Amino acid sequence: MAKKINLRDQVRDYLLKEMTKGTLDLGKTINLAAVSRALNLSVTPIREALAQLQQAHIIKAVPNRGFIIAELDVKEAEDLYDLVASLEVMAIENREFSETDIINLRKQQDVFENAANAIARIQADMEFHRLLTQGFENELALQLLYDLKTKDGVIPSGEEEYNYFLAVLFPAEQLKILPYNRVVLDLRMSEEEFINKVKTNFTIESANSPSPNKEKEICMYLSGKWHLLKPNENVKKADDVGGNLDVSILQNYILQPFLGVVDIRTDTNIDFIGGIRGTQELEKLVDSGKAQVAFSMYPVSVDDLINISDAGETMPPKSTWFEPKLRDGLVVHTI
């Protein structure tokens, strides 16, 4: 005999399926009007269904907002997994499996293994476990199991707004990558001692220009003179792409070992000068005594950016200065 489904249960099942599919986003208000249009029903049975889901702790009511899908923290999820496992074991132990049941389970296992993405895989897994327990005759336990698995299986769709961020596109011919130069405020040693330390990893020549002409060259301004640094045999090729950038070589073979600059983002003994300000700014800072040494870098290339992205790496901090710069502004999102 077919089980009669009233309007309230119909709404409830629809909402649970939409949650499982990720169509209803976590933390977002459930749009009663949209549900009403989708099911061609009045708002009254929809409100009754939401009240049921609230009692099951699948959704929660928020003052002045309405109903939203409740989110789980890690501890709650772990506890629910244990409870779901216990109920499923009880259901399996108290039902019989026909040959058709086994065939359907194997088919669903194939669906799971061939799922195209994480959401499809979770949906396939939930359907597998539904087939696994559907022959259990204790309807109250099955309903409780269904509620718990729905709460534990509510997943982000990947389309939630928090998955996105503002971005801007520039035509390649308009984009310029300038160097991000460095100045060190205090050597904390004599200049002669510092020069001798640098010579362990670099050859030092008199520079014809304050800016390097190619990669793997760094210009250093010290005591009113520009010097050209070239890595020697002590500078080894790094295993990662980013480790071979000039800024990484400077960091790993001068700044950190000789000047104690471990984290350039937080160390107060180092400052950064965008390439748009030119090498004159470096000279000005050193000549005025505000800094003791300056390093002029060769700009990172677009190929470097692409190679690092393809390798799944992130750019070292303070390694690129892009032009043009966007104007400052404030973007307000409606809550």
* pLDDT tens profile 252-306: 999 999 999 999 989 999 999 998 899 999 999 999 999 999 999 999 988 898 8
Angle between helices 74-93 and 139-153 (to 10 degrees): 150
- pLDDT value at position 28? 73
Domain boundary at 69, 88, 116, which?
A: 69
Does pLDDT of 70 surpass 90?
no
Ranges 158-172, 212-226, 239-253, 262-276: which has the least confidence: 158-172
- pLDDT value at position 230? 97
CB 296 within 8 A of CB 181: yes
CA dihedral 50→119→146→29, nearest 10 degrees, is -10
On whether both 238 and 121 belong to a single domain, the answer is: no
Ranges 5-19, 47-61, 172-186: which has the least confidence: 5-19
User: With pLDDT > 90 as the criterion, what percentage of the chain qualifies?
Assistant: 39
On whether both 81 and 99 belong to a single domain, the answer is: yes
Does pLDDT of 245 surpass 60?
yes
Comparing 202 with 139, which gets the higher pLDDT?
A: 202
Helix, strand, or coil (residue 321): strand
DSSP 26: B
Gap between the Cα atoms of 211 and 195, Å rounded? 19
Does pLDDT of 157 surpass 50?
no
- CA-CA-CA-CA torsion sign (119, 120, 121, 125): positive
- Report the number of distinct structural domains present in the chain: 3
Residue 78 lies in a domain: yes
Gap between the Cα atoms of 296 and 284, Å rounded? 13
Structure tokens at 189: 């040693």
Domain boundary at 101, 119, 153, which?
A: 153
DSSP 29: B
Q: Could you tell me the pLDDT band of residue 64, with boundaries at 50, 70 and 90?
A: confident
Mean pLDDT of 88-93: 85
- pLDDT value at position 3? 43
Q: Could you tell me the pLDDT band of residue 152, with boundaries at 50, 70 and 90?
A: low
Q: How far is CA 273 from CA 182, 281, 285, in A?
A: 6, 8, 10
Q: Whole-model pTM above 0.75?
A: no
Ranges 248-257, 313-322, 325-334: which has the least confidence: 325-334
**Which of 10-14, 159-163, 243-247: highest mean pLDDT?**
243-247
Residue 163 lies in a domain: no
Domain containing 56 equals 7-69
On whether both 120 and 204 belong to a single domain, the answer is: no
- pLDDT value at position 282? 97
- pLDDT value at position 191? 95
- pLDDT value at position 9? 65
- pLDDT value at position 19? 67
Domain boundary at 153, 185, 219, which?
A: 153
Concatenate the DSSP letters of all residues of 154-221 into one string: ----S-SGGG--------GGG-EEE-EEEEES--SS-HHHHHHHHTTTEEEEE-SSSS-SSTT-EEEE
On whether both 135 and 178 belong to a single domain, the answer is: no
CB 50 within 8 A of CB 30: yes
Q: Which stretch of DSSP H or E encloses residue 222?
A: strand 218-222
- Token pair 């499982």 is found at 20
CA dihedral 305→306→312→316, nearest 10 degrees, is -10
- If you average pLDDT over every residue of the chain, what do you get? 83
Does pLDDT of 12 surpass 90?
no
On whether both 274 and 179 belong to a single domain, the answer is: yes
- pLDDT value at position 6? 61
On whether both 187 and 310 belong to a single domain, the answer is: yes
- pLDDT value at position 149? 64
Return the bridge partners of 323, or none: 176
Mean pLDDT of 100-110: 91
